[in-house]
Each structure stands twice: as C-alpha cells, then as structure tokens.
Structure 1
Amino acid sequence: MTTLLLEHVDTVFITFANGTYQWVDITRFRPPAEACEDRCLLGLLIAHDLYGDNHAGGEPGTDPTRHGPYWRDRITPDHFDPDAAATAEPQLRTWAEQYAQLREDTRAELERELYAPLRDATTVYRLRDLGTDAFHDWGGVHDEFHELVLIDRTANLLTLVVAADD
C-alpha cells in the first residue's frame, strides 16, 4: 500500500512594505506520482504539516490545530469551490491595491510568483468563507483572508496561496 503525500517544493513570502500590512504566502508542492483527483489533492494539502499555519506570525507547520482564522479540523476538500483565473486575478489585484500603491518590485514579484502561475493553473479552487463558527479561539485577526489552491497538471505543481492583511 502506497501512502500519497505532497512534497514541499518551496515557499515565497511577499510583504508589500507599503504600510498596509498586506502579504501573500505562496507554498508550492509536488503532487504524488500516483493519479490523484483534485479533491484527493485538496485532502492531501489539508493533511500536510505545513497547512498547520495560523498565518499570524507563527511558522508553517507549528500550529497543528489552526489554519488562518479557522480551526483546521473544520476545513475539508468540500469547502473549496472551483474558481477561475479570470475571476480570481482581478479580485486579488483589487485587494492588493486597495489601500496604497504597490512598489514596482512588489508588483513584479506578484506578477511572477502569483498572477502568472494563477493564469497557468489547470484548475483553481478558493477556500470559501467558513464563517465565524469555524473561527479558532482568536480567529478573525485578519482584515481579509483569501486562500486559493492552484493545480497545474502540466507543471506537476500544487500551489497554496494565502493573501491577507493583519
């Protein structure tokens, strides 16, 4: 019996450094060689140690019970809705530029690390708002919390994108 696992490839953290406290955390994984449908991949992501991240100053993998504002055990693959790059990209751009102008280096990094992979993804999923009932004991500290999962079957990558502001 083979255990299916995601292999961590790398992580890129983009801070806007413009006084807005906005940031984007991008974590890339290599899916298992065995065939795995999208819902299977989402389940593997949720189960991965690095998904245990409160995104509020702790290190990825050090908070096994929280993910972003939510109790981790309240998140299932069924909470991810299909999305499209044509919808998600303008929403993220609006969020990124709502408070202050982006520095040119930040704009270029977002294009390279976020927007281009988003457009290249085979499928895109968005974690829906789970509501305050799913908040952990101090959830809700982010003004906005956006989570996308990009599955690129051509490049054999699964990318977790968390964009938020503190």
Structure 2
Amino acid sequence: MQTSAHLEYEGSSFINFQDFDFPAGGNPSRQWIDIKQFTIAESTPASRDLLSALIGDQHFRDDYIGGGVDPAGTRHGPYWIDRITPDSYTHAPADSVIALVTRWVDQCGVVPDALRQVIDRDVFGPARTATDIVTLSGLDSSAVNDYGFIHTEFHEIVTIDTTGGSLRLIVAADD
C-alpha cells in the first residue's frame, strides 16, 4: 500500500454492469463503476489537501481503458493528469450526485434490482454519509488526452468522510 501525507490506499472494487442479468427492456451497454478506497491517514485535513494527495497518488494514474493503474502514467480517465488540480473539483450535495448517477444508470432501461442494490450500497451509501463530496468538472478541451474520446460519459465523484476516516474515488463511465 502506498501512503501519502494524508491518504493510504486500501483497495478497489469494480461494478461491471455486464455481470448482472438484465431483464427484457434493459441493456447493460458498456457501463461500469470503479471505486478506489483510501483511509485518511491524518486527523481531519482540509478537503483541498486530500484532493491534492489524491491527485498525487499513483492510484489516480488510471486511464480507465483497461490497462489499470500506471504509476508512471500521465492520464486520468479522459484527462491529462497535469491539468487536474483541486480547483477542478466542484462541491456537490449527496442528492445531486445520487440524481446524476441514477440518470446515468437509467440509460440502461430496465435495471436489475441486484445492480441497484450494489450501487446503493457502494456509491449512494458513502455519498449519504460523506462530510464532503466533490465532482470533477469544468475541465476545458485542452485537458482531454489523446484517448479521451473512448468514454461516452465519464463521471468522477470523490466522497470524503472525515468522521469515518475514508475517501472514495468513484468513477462511473462507459466505453
């Protein structure tokens, strides 16, 4: 495990929509959710400091196109890492994050209850208990890397729970 001044990487989980049995009227498309879990290693650092630590962490260096984390990588999803700063994130209330992810999931049509339960537990649950939530937004076209076109939609949510001592990097995307 890599440790920064503020974060310790604990592991990740992956929700692949294609692993669920979709009923008639539903289509899992190529959607998935990747969750990277960190423990906050210091007592209550500011959200901005946690975002700086996250951006600097090797586990942030993931292009989300199948290669996984590249410790020397220069991409984060569809963006160049050097274009992402704590100012690239916008504070968001839990209900707006839940609405965003629900809208994105509902593009699949009829969604299996089992998938909704996993998303409720692993995405909405942490959003409801977070002391702060931010979403990656506001990056202009100069931040998009040479593979950026692969993701039809790319939603990044960071939940920070200083009470529980955890940070989750949640990426909901499709390819």
* Identity value in percent: 38
Unaligned 5+ residue runs, structure 2?
19-26
> 99-108 or 78-87, which moves further after superposition?
99-108
| Counterpart selection for 2:47 from 19, 38, 51 | 38
| TM-score, L = length of structure 2 | 0.88
| Counterpart selection for 1:124 from 133, 141, 145 | 133
Unaligned 5+ residue runs, structure 1?
none
**Cα 1:30–1:45 shift into 2, 3 Å:** same
| Counterpart selection for 2:77 from 48, 63, 68 | 68
CA RMSD of aligned residues (A): 1.4
Q: Which residue of 2 aligns with 1:56?
A: 65
Measure how far apart 1:34 and its partner are.
4.4
Contact 1:53 1:63 in 2 (8 A): no
Tell me which amino acid in the other structure corresponds to 1:153. Answer: T
Instruction: Work out the CA distance in 2 between the residues paired with 1:89 and 1:38.
Output: 20
Tell me which amino acid in the other structure corresponds to 2:111. Answer: L
Q: Which residue of 1 aligns with 2:161?
A: 152
| TM-score, L = length of structure 1 | 0.93
Measure how far apart 1:60 and its partner are.
2.0
Contact 1:20 1:100 in 2 (8 A): no
Aligned residues: 164
Q: Return structure 1 stretches of 4+ with deviation > 3 angstroms.
A: none
Secondary structure in structure 2 of the residue aligned to 1:140:
helix
